[in-house]
Amino acid sequence: MSKLTLRNHPLRDVLDKELRQRTFPALNTPCRLCHFMFTVANASRQLEFSVMQQHAEQQGAYLTETDQDLNIPLFAGTLRWERHGEFSSYTFILSGAAATLFDDPLSFLPSRDWFDELPGQLFRIVQLTVIPAEALPATDEINGYFNDETRISSMLADEKARIWTDFQKHAEGAGRMLLVDYGLSPARLGRLVQHLFDLGNYRKLSLLGWPVARQALQKLNNLEQQLSGLTQRIEQKRDNDERLLNQISQLAAQTEHIIAETSSRLAATAAYYQLTLDRLKTLNETPISDLISLQDFTERRLTPAFRTSESVQTRQTALSARLGRSTELLRTRINLKLEQQNQQLLVSMDKKARVQLKLQQVVEGLSFVAISYYAAQLADKTVIAASYWLPTLDVSLWRSISLPLVLVAVASLLLWLKRKLQQDQSP
């Protein structure tokens, strides 16, 4: 095995440890539990770990950075600590029965200031009392612990347990759950309790997206109205396209800002909602006639809030797409205008080039006349000068001959230069 050990995947032990984590300890009936849930920022995680590491060392346990949960004994009971993405939970477990089913949550702590050093904001407290079937109080006594309007009761774990709760904070500052054990094994009872705590935590966390969704809906309504007005102005061409494009760009920026603000929370809401449904399935719930079940309560209270968050995400995506199409439409129209302007500019430049060509041709003709004139004058002066040295020279004859010769020479020279330039310009 030593040779094979050298070939271990670097994540083999880490993943094995991850699979073993978040396993709730086995529970014996009767027992009482108090579950505290705190939302914890990433910046406070190191402080939380340091404090919990100290508690673990005091009880002879060791906590590493990769550990996501911890079970340590505390005076008469056990502490179950779990670290999640944005929250941590502390479950204090006391074995045996008590005089009352529910008590002050602080009575579960080693000291009333036990949480003072730990970071985070208190998000949920719930007490869960597990009793055997033979210790079940009278119905009227049980009903007295819960609110009549929101009381929930159903059979769980293939009818081997029954739960009472009302998802309401009571006078002691905590929620209440009463679980009656009809023959669950300690391990299955521990898993059932964990699922119940997870169900409540994920259900409440999924509701964090509801106020965010409501605020986003107001902003989306305003942006959609503005976009509708801009779209109408685009259709009717009542405004400058560049100005409209600038206004749509501003709307797009505001929309993306809203999406950036809400997308993380709304995505978490969807994830927590799905986790809530998953926990409901694992409870194997059987409804009791005329009583609200956990499934009924979730569908009636949680699902509408989730649908609101879901609709916000859909509307944000749709609004972003509409803004993109409107922006593309305006850019296309502006590009067409620019192409038309460029085409008109090219036509204007072509006309100017033709005019310049005609002017150039006129100038070339005038140049021929001017050059011929000066050349003829030069030839005439040459003949007169030559007659001084040659008295017998017939001045009139040579003057008459020089003019056509000069015209032919100048015309030939200009023609040669023109052809030479054309040859140089041609590819």
Within a domain: 197: no
| Secondary element (H or E) of residue 15 | helix 12-20
* pTM, two decimal places: 0.76
Rounded to a whole number of angstroms, the CA Rg of the chain reads: 46
Residue 207 CA to residue 195 CA, distance in Å, equals 18
Within a domain: 4: no
Is there a single domain that holds both residue 216 and residue 142? no
Return the CATH number at 143.
3.30.2030
- The pLDDT value given to residue 133: 93
Within a domain: 195: no
CA angle 293, 299, 305 (to 5 degrees): 140
**Chosen domain end from 343, 373, 401:** 343
Within a domain: 350: no
Strand order in the sheet with 161-165: 69-74, 77-83, 87-95, 31-39, 121-132, 175-181, 161-165, 152-156, 286-287
Residue 298 burial by Cβ neighbours in a 10 Å radius (0-12, 13-18, 19+)? buried
Domain that holds residue 49: 19-184
Scanning 290-302, the segments in alpha helix (DSSP H) are 294-297
Is there a single domain that holds both residue 320 and residue 368? no
Is there a single domain that holds both residue 116 and residue 39? yes
- The pLDDT value given to residue 341: 80
Within a domain: 33: yes
- The pLDDT value given to residue 385: 73
Residue 129 CA to residue 96 CA, distance in Å, equals 10
Through-space distance between the first and last CA atoms of the chain, rounded to whole angstroms = 80
Residue 179 burial by Cβ neighbours in a 10 Å radius (0-12, 13-18, 19+)? buried
CA nearest 87: which of 122, 52, 114, 56?
Answer: 122
**Chosen domain end from 311, 343, 375:** 343
CA angle 115, 121, 123 (to 5 degrees): 105
Is there a single domain that holds both residue 126 and residue 167? yes
Domain count of the fold of the chain: 3
Is there a single domain that holds both residue 115 and residue 224? no
Within a domain: 228: yes
Is there a single domain that holds both residue 29 and residue 155? yes
* pLDDT tens, N- to C-terminus, the chain (427 residues): 566 666 677 776 666 655 566 688 899 999 999 999 999 999 999 999 999 999 989 888 888 888 888 899 887 789 999 999 899 999 999 999 888 899 999 999 988 999 999 999 999 999 999 999 999 999 899 999 999 888 999 999 999 999 999 988 999 999 999 999 999 999 999 999 999 999 999 999 999 998 999 899 889 899 888 888 888 877 777 667 778 788 888 888 898 999 999 999 999 999 999 999 999 999 999 999 888 999 998 888 888 888 989 999 999 989 888 888 888 877 877 777 778 888 888 888 888 878 777 777 666 666 666 676 677 777 777 767 777 777 776 667 766 776 677 777 777 776 777 777 667 666 5
Within a domain: 282: yes
CA nearest 87: which of 123, 111, 58, 114?
Answer: 123
Within a domain: 14: no
Q: 292: which DSSP letter?
A: B
CA torsion 21-22-23-29 (nearest 10°) is 150
Is there a single domain that holds both residue 65 and residue 164? yes
| Token representation of residue 113 | 């200031």
Is there a single domain that holds both residue 288 and residue 399? no
Strand 161-165, strand 175-181: pairing? antiparallel
DSSP 159-201: TTEEEEE-S---TTSSEEEEEEESS--HHHHHHHHHHHHHHHH
| Token representation of residue 80 | 């179950």
Judge contact between 258 and 216, C-beta under 8 A: yes
Judge contact between 24 and 80, C-beta under 8 A: yes
Specify the 3-state DSSP secondary structure of 238. Answer: coil
Residue 240 CA to residue 28 CA, distance in Å, equals 77
User: 128 phi and psi, to 5 degrees?
Assistant: -130, 125
DSSP 34-77: EEEEEE--GGGHHHHHHHHHHHHHHTT----TT--EEEEEETTE
Residue 366 CA to residue 371 CA, distance in Å, equals 8
Is there a single domain that holds both residue 339 and residue 365? no
Is there a single domain that holds both residue 32 and residue 171? yes
Q: 106: which DSSP letter?
A: G
Is there a single domain that holds both residue 111 and residue 226? no
CA nearest 84: which of 46, 39, 50, 44?
Answer: 39
**Chosen domain end from 301, 317, 343:** 343
Is there a single domain that holds both residue 242 and residue 337? yes
